[in-house]
Amino acid sequence: MSRQMYALAWPAFLENVLQTTLGIVSLALVGQLGTEAVASVGLANQIYFVTVTVMMGWSVGTTALVARETGAGQSRVAVEIGWQSLLIAGVVSLAMALGSFPSAHLALTLAGASESVAAVGEPYLRIMAFSVPGMGLMLVCGAVLRGAGDTRTPMYVTFLANGINIVLAYLLVLGNFGAPRLGVEGAAIAVVVSRVVGAVVLVAIVRRRTGESLRDRLIEGATARRVARIGAPVAAEQLAVQVGFLAFNLVAIRIGTAEFAAMQIAFNIAQVSQLAGMAFSSAATTLVGQSLGARDPERATRFGWMATWTAVTWMTLMGAVFILTGDAIFGLYGADPIVRERGQFALLVMGIGQAPQAISFVLSGALRGAGDTRATLVAGLVGTCGIRFLVAFVGGLLLGIGYPAIWYAWIGDWLVRMVIFVARFRSSAWQRVRV
């Protein structure tokens, strides 16, 4: 079981390393343009992720169902689920891209951006809209392959796409090697190109593996409803989390631009510690789904706890690194002294909160693999929209605590979610969810 878990987790881990490296390099490049550029890109990215939450939810539903049918030996049904999911993802993500392009300025203003921040963030967000179809197809193709137990192929394609992204961002953000200096717009163009390439490659791989394509296919209602029954609560959860996070950002940006920039950099740094959590969450989703498909709930339970405690070990060690080296890490981003001071406090709290975050990551992945996505929806609503936003708003603005309240809210969110996920997984209700 341990070998099986690590065989799925390590490619997901490396894929997350690549994604994190991309985010760190991108933000470090943008950081050379100043604090307002960091704040603009950070806020615009939060709005962007609200747009793609539907695809994130859809991909989770796809992984859960493909894993369940693979575990049950129903490979043809798994293939049909995969292609139906890709077809719907293509249509929906294209519609979202067309809808988000003209609303970039309004979205930034509603999120609390000042005029100067909105002026920098608007062209970035408009260009990012063109990456939504590529992002959607990459998410769902990766979900199909992971559900079937293949986490290596998405890793290789992510390596290719991220390499393209980093090279283009290096050239276009600062105008290196004679390229045009496009600033934050150059960072967005790099994302669009890399995700289009990644989507094309992954769709071609899925087509070759299955011997089929989207040509002449129509949306099939029964299969679409099965994916939606699992994926819709995850999409709603992710939407609630992102909206709650935007509200959280609204509080932070009202406290101050330097505080908001420090928070964005801290979240970017913290992605390093989340690598294990996301990797073992992905492995738990696949293995729990396949185990339940094979009618072995005891094995599913053992996989869930095994993945959880492994992630806790890794993330706790990384938390210690954050606490001990916070100022030096922030120095890599070229942050000014005020941002670095705020950042040290942020990494101290993040270091303390690594264990509850790890438990929440992996057990939520295990529950999603079982199709128990309504429980994860409840946890997301209570934690992010309830605890995180309310504590930040009341403490940070109404009571005048300011910047520290943001991080009290952050750790409170993860503690509450941990309690909900542990209680749910310890019960046996998730083993009886119909998918």
* Helix, strand, coil tally for the chain in percent (to 5): 90, 0, 10
pLDDT of residue 299: 93
Work out the mean pLDDT of the chain and round it to a whole number. 84
Please give the DSSP secondary-structure letter assigned to residue 33: T
**What gap in Å lies between CA 222 and CA 390, rounded to an integer?**
40
pLDDT of residue 247: 76
Give the pLDDT mean for 252-260. Answer: 81
pLDDT of residue 316: 93
The residue that leads in pLDDT, 226 or 375, is: 375
**What gap in Å lies between CA 18 and CA 12, rounded to an integer?**
10
| Range 393-402 contact pairs with CB under 8 angstroms and sequence separation of 24 or more | 393/247, 393/251, 396/251, 396/252, 396/255, 397/251, 397/254, 397/255, 402/255, 402/259
Q: What is the dihedral of CA 145, 151, 157, 159, to 10 degrees?
A: 160
Cα three-residue angle 290-311-333, rounded to 5 degrees: 125
Percent of the chain with pLDDT over 70: 95
> Which of the four pLDDT bands, split at 50, 70 and 90, describes residue 251?
confident
Please tell me the pTM assigned to this model.
0.75
HSE of 150, CA atoms in CB hemisphere, 13 A: 15
Q: Are 365 and 375 in contact (CB under 8 A)?
A: no
Cα three-residue angle 383-385-388, rounded to 5 degrees: 60
**What gap in Å lies between CA 431 and CA 416, rounded to an integer?**
23
> Which of the four pLDDT bands, split at 50, 70 and 90, describes residue 24?
low
**What gap in Å lies between CA 351 and CA 407, rounded to an integer?**
11
pLDDT of residue 334: 62
Instruction: Write out the two tokens for 206.
Output: 């899925």
> Which of the four pLDDT bands, split at 50, 70 and 90, describes residue 216?
low
State yes or no: pLDDT of 150 exceeds 80.
yes
pLDDT of residue 296: 92
The total number of structural domains that make up the chain = 1
pLDDT of residue 38: 76
State yes or no: pLDDT of 234 exceeds 90.
no
Lowest mean pLDDT among 77-91, 184-198, 343-357: 77-91
In degrees rounded to 5, what are phi and psi of residue 112?
A: 95, 10
**What gap in Å lies between CA 406 and CA 40, rounded to an integer?**
19
pLDDT of residue 61: 80
**Count of residues for the chain?**
435
> Which of the four pLDDT bands, split at 50, 70 and 90, describes residue 215?
low
Please report, for residues 179, 255, 346, 388, the alpha-carbon distance to residue 409 in angstroms, rounded to integers and kept in the order given.
43, 14, 12, 4
pLDDT tens column, 153-212? 988 998 898 889 889 988 988 888 888 988 888 888 998 999 899 999 999 998 888 876
**What gap in Å lies between CA 123 and CA 231, rounded to an integer?**
31
pLDDT of residue 312: 94
The neighbour count for residue 129, using CB atoms within 10 Å, is 21
Percent of the chain with pLDDT over 90: 19
pLDDT of residue 200: 93
pLDDT tens column, 389-411? 888 888 888 888 888 888 899 99
Give the pLDDT mean for 331-360. Answer: 84
Host domain of residue 235:
2-432
The neighbour count for residue 167, using CB atoms within 10 Å, is 14
pLDDT of residue 337: 79
User: Hey, what amino acid is at 19?
Assistant: Q
The residue that leads in pLDDT, 22 or 192, is: 192
**What gap in Å lies between CA 87 and CA 220, rounded to an integer?**
10
**What gap in Å lies between CA 228 and CA 373, rounded to an integer?**
11
